[in-house]
């Protein structure tokens, strides 16, 4: 007999659907909660007040600057060479000390010339004999005892013998090396008894007074440079001292690769402190004084696409501005705005602004990398960057 209560079979499909639905609700809730928290966090950071950047400032000033030009160059000896010999031989005598001043024609080195002297005596004897024979044949030709052609042959032989004597004397003279000009000798490069070949350097000789200063300038300054213009120069070897000279030569052609032309100035150097090969800084005036706008170089961001500065301005605060602690802010605030400028000549720590800035405007001089347009700043000028026209850093 069948019972009334019948057992229901479990519905597996329904259970699977309910479990999947529950899983989706849980996972979706987690993603929704994470998205909500991320949105709230983004809103917080977007509306969070930015801290003011600390900077130093300087005011653009108008100054009177004379039009000047600076360059770098090299000191060059008016006469400078490595003394050498035209004939080879063994060093018999050294007649100089390294580093001493010498006069033109002063004996420096003698080479062994014993063989050449012996040959000279032989040639002189032959030349004397040829001269006697030539005179005798001339007399005979005058008496019609020999032909005129034979007398001419003897005369030619005598002249040839005399030329051989002169050539030998010239060779012997090459064995004696003398200073070609006044100057100061360098370090000796040969020793007593050493064999030297023709062209081997013996000692360096440099003429120090006067001395040349060679430097290059861009082609646009070619019309402004003239012979006789005064220049001033300084060298690192003699700090704090300036040397004066005049332009004595201008290269007529411009170098096509650099678009520069060479200039040569002459400086007096009585004490010999300026030495050839020394690096020198050159400066000279090109005209009268002019009024220019000047700021510290640290205020300029030098970029390939253009130079810029950050100009400081004071503006009123917007309503509802809060500080980092959420407290309301009132009053005015200082902000910076980036402005592109055109720069000109520099002098020490200062640079000329030819366009984009007016006298009296205030620019940021430090902390430029952390600035942005309309960003708030605080000014602290207790420690300022150097703004000297002729800075002289101390050695420490």
Domain range list for the chain: 53-66+290-379, 69-78+206-287, 86-109+178-205, 113-174
Residue 7 burial (CB count, 10 A): 6
Report phi then psi at 271, rounded to 5.
-85, -5
pLDDT value for 315: 84
Least confident of 44-53, 62-71, 187-196, 235-244: 44-53
Give the residue with greater pLDDT, 338 vs 22. Answer: 338
For 86-109+178-205, CATH number out of 2.60.120.260, 2.40.50.100, 3.30.413.10, 3.40.50.300 equals 2.40.50.100
CA dihedral over 361, 366, 372, 375, signed as positive or negative: negative
3-state secondary structure of 194: coil
Distance CA 200, CA 220 (A): 44
Q: Is it the case that residue 279 has pLDDT exceeding 70?
A: yes
Class of domain 69-78+206-287: mainly beta
- Within 8 A by CB and 6+ apart from 59, the residues are 360, 361, 362, 363
Nearest to 363 by CA among 307, 316, 318, 306: 307
Nearest to 385 by CA among 294, 296, 295, 293: 296
Q: 113-174 — its CATH code?
A: 1.10.287
The answer to whether 91 and 287 are in contact (CB under 8 A) is no
Nearest to 169 by CA among 120, 105, 204, 231: 120
Give the residue with greater pLDDT, 154 vs 55. Answer: 55
pLDDT band at 325 (very low <50, low <70, confident <90, very high): low
The answer to whether 53 and 377 are in contact (CB under 8 A) is yes
Distance CA 71, CA 229 (A): 15
Give the residue with greater pLDDT, 382 vs 395. Answer: 382
pTM, 2 dp: 0.57
Element (H, E) at 167: helix 148-174
Note the pLDDT tens digit of each residue in 98-134: 888 999 988 998 888 777 777 778 877 887 887 887 7
Q: Is it the case that residue 162 has pLDDT exceeding 50?
A: yes
Distance CA 305, CA 93 (A): 68
pLDDT value for 264: 93
- Within 8 A by CB and 6+ apart from 341, the residues are 300, 307, 308, 309, 353, 355, 356, 357
Element (H, E) at 131: helix 114-142
Burial of residue 323 (CB within 10 Å: 0-12, 13-18, 19+) is exposed
Strand ranges, E, within 120-268: 176-178, 183-185, 195-196, 203-206, 211-218, 230-235, 243-250, 260-267
* b/e burial code for range 281-318 (CB count within 10 A of at least 16 → b): ebebeeeeeeebbbbbbbbbbeeeeebbbbbbeeeeee
- Within 8 A by CB and 6+ apart from 209, the residues are 268, 269, 270, 272
Note the pLDDT tens digit of each residue in 367-383: 888 888 888 888 888 87
Topology of domain 53-66+290-379 in CATH is: 2.40.420
pLDDT band at 213 (very low <50, low <70, confident <90, very high): very high
Residue 394 burial (CB count, 10 A): 4
Alpha carbon separation from 102 to 185, 212, 390 (Å, rounded): 7, 20, 40
């Amino acid at each position: 007999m069948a019972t009334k209560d019948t057992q229901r079979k479990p519905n597996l499909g329904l259970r699977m659907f309910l479990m999947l639905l529950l899983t989706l609700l849980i996972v979706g809730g987690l993603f929704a909660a994470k998205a909500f928290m991320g949105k709230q966090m983004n809103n917080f950071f977007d509306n969070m007040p930015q801290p003011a950047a600390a900077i130093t400032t300087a005011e653009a000033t108008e100054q009177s600057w004379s039009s000047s030009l600076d360059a770098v160059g090299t000191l060059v000896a008016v006469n400078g060479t490595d003394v050498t010999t035209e004939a080879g031989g063994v060093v018999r005598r050294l007649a100089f000390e390294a580093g001493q001043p010498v006069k033109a024609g002063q004996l420096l080195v003698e080479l062994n010339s014993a063989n050449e002297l012996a040959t000279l005596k032989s040639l002189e004897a032959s030349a004397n004999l040829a001269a006697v024979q030539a005179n005798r044949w001339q007399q005979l030709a005058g008496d019609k005892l020999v032909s005129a052609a034979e007398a001419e042959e003897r005369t030619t032989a005598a002249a040839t013998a005399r030329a051989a004597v002169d050539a030998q004397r010239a060779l012997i003279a090459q064995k004696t090396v003398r200073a070609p000009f006044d100057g100061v000798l360098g370090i000796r490069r040969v020793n007593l008894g050493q064999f030297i070949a023709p062209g081997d350097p013996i000692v360096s000789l440099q003429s120090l007074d006067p001395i040349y200063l060679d430097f290059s300038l861009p082609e646009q300054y070619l019309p402004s440079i003239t012979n006789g213009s005064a220049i001033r120069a300084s060298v690192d070897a003699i700090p704090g001292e300036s040397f004066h000279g005049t332009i004595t030569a201008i290269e007529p052609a411009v170098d096509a690769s650099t678009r520069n032309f060479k200039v040569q100035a002459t400086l007096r150097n009585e004490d010999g402190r300026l030495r050839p090969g020394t690096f020198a800084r050159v400066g000279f005036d090109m005209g009268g004084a002019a009024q220019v706008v000047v700021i510290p170089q640290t205020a300029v961001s030098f970029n390939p696409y253009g130079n810029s500065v950050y100009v400081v301005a004071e503006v009123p605060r917007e309503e509802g501005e809060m500080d980092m602690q959420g407290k309301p802010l009132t009053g005015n605030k200082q902000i910076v705005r980036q402005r592109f400028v055109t720069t000109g000549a520099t002098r020490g720590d200062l640079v000329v602004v030819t366009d984009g800035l007016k006298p009296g405007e205030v620019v940021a001089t430090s902390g430029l990398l952390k600035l942005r347009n309309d960003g708030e700043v605080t000014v602290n000028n207790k420690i300022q960057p150097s703004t000297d026209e002729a800075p002289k850093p101390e050695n420490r």
